[in-house]
Structure 1
Amino acid sequence: MGKVIAIANQKGGVGKTTTAVNLAASMAATKRKVLLIDLDPQGNATMGSGVDKYEVPATAYELLVDEKPLDQVVVKETSGGYHLVAANSDVTAAEVRLMDVFARELRLRNALKPWRNSYDFVFIDCPPSLNMLTVNAMAAADSVLVPMQCEYYALEGLTALMDTIRQLAAVVNADLKIEGILRTMYDPRNRLANDVSEQLKQHFADKVYRTVIPRNIRLAEAPSFGSPVMYYDKSSTGAKAYLALAGELLRRADSKSSQQPKSTLTES
C-alpha cells in the first residue's frame, strides 16, 4: 500500500511547494510510482510540474466536491514523471462547498482509498494555512513532512504547527505522525541558521532529516520553466539535495517496515 505524506507548514515561503515537486520527481526517478496532489489554490505545484493550471480539465475540486474517481481527475503526463491532481483558483471554492458536506474532512481520504495500491508514494502539497483543505490532507495522510527555514521565529512557529498536527490527529486521524523536519533554503555561512539548526536537532532528534536543502539559484529558477530542478539542471546542488532526501526517506521507510508500526504522534 502506498504511503501518503502531507507536506505542510502554516508559514508561507518556506519551500513547501518546491519540496513537493522536487521530492515527487526524485522519487519518480527511482522508478517509484508517485502521485502529487496539489491542494493549494495558487496552483504552484501544478505549474512547477509543467502543467498549465488554466487548461486542466479537472482539479482537486472535482475530486473533493464532485467526488469524481481519481482516474478521471489525474494528469498522467508531467515534467517530473509522476501523476498529478492539479489545482487552480477553483480549489478555493472547494473549501466553501465542503462546509455543507457530511464528513467533509474525509473526502480526500475516501477518494484515495481505492487507489493507494496503485502508488508507492502520494505527496500532498498543502495550502499555507489551516483550512478545510489542509484538514482533508491531514485526515488522508500517514504522516506530515515539515519544510522550514532556520530563522528566528522558526522554532516558535514549528511548536505551534506540532500542536496543530497533534490536535488534528486527535480529531480526524489517530495514526498521523511527523514524518520528518526538513531544513530548507539553508546557508551554512549564516550563524543564526546554524544555531537554529542545532536547536532543531537537540529538540527533535532523528525527526530532523540529515539532508539539508541549500539556497540555490537553479532551484529557484526551475519552476519558471515548469520543471523540477533535476530536469532543469541535474548537476545543481538543489537537484542533488532532493535526490539525497528521497534516498533518506526511502531508507527510513525500509527501516520502519522492519519494525512494529506505531500509532502515536511523536516528536522524536
Structure 2
Amino acid sequence: MSFAKLLGISKQELIEKEAQGILPPAKRNGHEGRYYKPEDVIKYRSLLGIPSPIKSIRKQLFLNFKGGTGKSTLSASYGFRLAQKGIRTLLIDLDPQGHLTQCLGLNNQQYPKTLFNALIEKEDVEKIIIKTDLPTLDVIPSNLNLSPVELSLFSMNSREFRLKKLLATLEKNYELIVMDASPSIGLLNLNAILASNDLLIPVLADFLSYHGLKILFETLSTIEEDFSFVFENIFIFLNRYNDSHRICRRSKKALETHYEKYLLETMIRQDTKIAEATSQGTPIFLFAPSSKGATDIDRLIDEIFGPKGAERV
C-alpha cells in the first residue's frame, strides 16, 4: 500500500497538498523517486488534521482454544499494519512458544526477558519492551522463560488482575495494545481476558474450529458469572478461507447461523504468501504488500476501526 493510502487519501491529493505547501515535499532518492519514512505518517496525519481511528486506548486479545488457526501470524501483521498507519501500538506475546515474536523477525533467544519478569519478578516493564524499526511499534517478546508464569501467578494476591494492573501503567504510551494468547485457558490467559476490551477470534472453515468456538464461549460465560466481566466487542472472522471448497462454505454457513452477532464480513482468504512471510519472520505488509492476505487484513482493520466499526471501538 502506498504512503497516501496509509494516510487515507489518494496519491493525487498527496501531491497536490505538497505543491500547496500544506505538507512538506516528499524526500527523493536518485532514480528511485519519491519516498517517505515510517515516522512521516504521524507527522502528516497531524498536519492534515486526520484524527486517529482509535478514540481511546484499545486492548485487544487474539485468542482461540484451537491451535493452528493462524492467530499469531495474523496478530503480528494486524498490529504491524496499524503501527504503519501511525497508531502507537504495543504487541505482547503471551505464548511461551514465542510465535508472535518470531513472526516479527525477532530472535526470541536474543531477548531473554518476557512478561514473566514484569508480572512475577516485578521488573520495570519499560526495560522489557523491545523497540522495533517502526517508530510506532513496540513488542514484549516471549520464549520458554515465560513458562513458569502460571505456577507463579497461582500463589499471588489478585492473581487474575495482575496483567490489567501492569497494562494500566503503559496506557499513556500507546493507543493500541494487541496480545497474542496461547490456545489454552490458564491464569495468564484469564489475566489477558480480564485486561482486554476486545476479543478477536480467527477460525478456520472446519468443524473442529466450530467446536473450539463452543468451548471458548462456554468459558467466557463462566468468566462472566465469576468476575462480572464481558468484552466490549467480540470479533469472529474466517481465516484461510477458500470459497471453492464445499467444507468452507458449509462451515461459513454454520457460523452465520450460530454466531451472526459476532461474525465479521471480512474473511482472510487462503494465500500462500502469508505462510511464506511467516517462514521469513516478516509481516505480510513487508513481504507481499499487494497479496490477497495483505488486502484482507487491511479490510479487517477497516471493518473494525473504519466507519462500520467506529461506533464499537
TM-score higher than 0.5 here?
A: yes
1:232 corresponds to 2:287: yes
1:142 equivalenced with 2:197 (yes/no): yes
What is the rounded CA distance, in whole Å, between the counterparts of 1:145 and 1:255 in structure 2? 17
Displacement, 1:117? 3.2
Q: 1:145–1:181: 8 Å Cα contact kept in structure 2?
A: yes
How far the C-alpha of 1:13 sits from its partner, in A, is: 0.2
Query: What is the match of residue 31 of structure 1?
Result: 86
Q: Is 1:124 equivalent to 2:194 in the alignment?
A: no
Specify the SS of the correspondent of 2:92: strand
**Amino acid in structure 2 at the alignment position of 1:11:** K
The alignment status of 1:45 with 2:104, answered yes or no, reads no
Q: How does 1:156-171 map to 2 (within 5 A)?
A: 156-171=211-226
Corresponding residue for residue 256 of structure 1: 312
Give the residue type in structure 2 aligned to 1:7. Answer: F
1:4-34 Cα shifts (integer Å, max 9, x gaps): 1111001100111112101101211221111
Rounded to whole Å, the distance in 2 between the matches of 1:169 and 1:177 is 12
When the two structures are superposed, what TM-score results if normalisation uses the length of structure 1? Answer: 0.90
Kindly name which structure, 1 or 2, has the bigger radius of gyration based on alpha carbons: 2
The amino acid that maps onto 1:203 is H
The CA distance in 1 between the partners of 2:250 and 2:310, in whole Å, is 31
Give the superposition deviation at 1:206. 4.2
Q: Which residue of 2 aligns with 1:62?
A: 117
Partners of 1:195 and 1:57 in 2: CA distance: 44
CA positional deviation for 1:176: 2.3
8 Å CA contact 1:79–1:226 kept in 2: the answer is no
Is structure 2 residue 249 aligned with structure 1 residue 194?
A: yes
More deviation in 71-80 or 113-122? 71-80
Unaligned runs of 5+ in 2: 1-55
Give the CA deviation at 1:157.
2.0
RMSD of aligned residue pairs (Cα, Å) = 1.8
Which secondary structure state, in structure 2, belongs to the residue aligned with residue 55 of structure 1? coil
2:246 alignment partner AA:
R
Shift of 1:130: 0.8
Distance 1:46 1:171 in 2: 32
Unaligned runs of 5+ in 1: 258-268
Deviation at 1:81, TM superposition (A): 5.4
Provide closer, same or farther for how the CA distance between residues 177 and 162 of structure 1 changes in structure 2, counting only shifts above 3 A: farther
Q: Give, in whole Å, the separation in 2 of the partners of 1:176 and 1:81.
A: 26
Contact 1:79–1:228 at 8 Å: present in 2 too? no
Which residue number in structure 2 is paired with residue 264 of structure 1?
A: none
In the alignment, residue 108 of structure 1 is paired with which amino acid? L
Q: What SS is found at the alignment partner of 2:160?
A: helix
Deviation string for 1:187-243 (max 9, x for gaps)?
A: 111111111112212222242111111111110011222211110111111111111
CA deviation profile, 1:35-80 (whole Å, cap 9, x unmatched): 1110000001001112110011521111211223332211111579
Residues 78-93 of structure 1: matches in 2 within 5 Å?
82-93=137-148
In structure 2, how many angstroms separate the alpha carbons of the residues matched to 1:79 and 1:222? 18
Distance 1:130-1:255 versus aligned 2 partners, 3 A rule = same
Task: Say if 1:186 and 1:213, in contact at 8 Å, map to a contact too.
Answer: yes
* Length, aligned pairs only: 257
User: Whole-Å Cα distance in 2 between the matches of residues 245 and 12 of structure 1?
Assistant: 21
SS at match of 2:139: strand
**1:169–1:118 distance in 2 versus 1, CA, 3 Å:** farther
Q: Deviations over 1:101-150 (max 9, x none)?
A: 11111111010012223222111100111111111111111121111101
Answer 1 or 2: higher relative contact order, Cα 8 Å, separation at least 6.
1
Q: Which whole-Å CA distance do the structure 2 matches of 1:233 and 1:107 have between them?
A: 38
What is aligned with 1:214? 269
Choose which of 14, 23, 26 in structure 1 pairs with 2:69.
14
2-side partners of 1:202 and 1:223: how far apart? 32
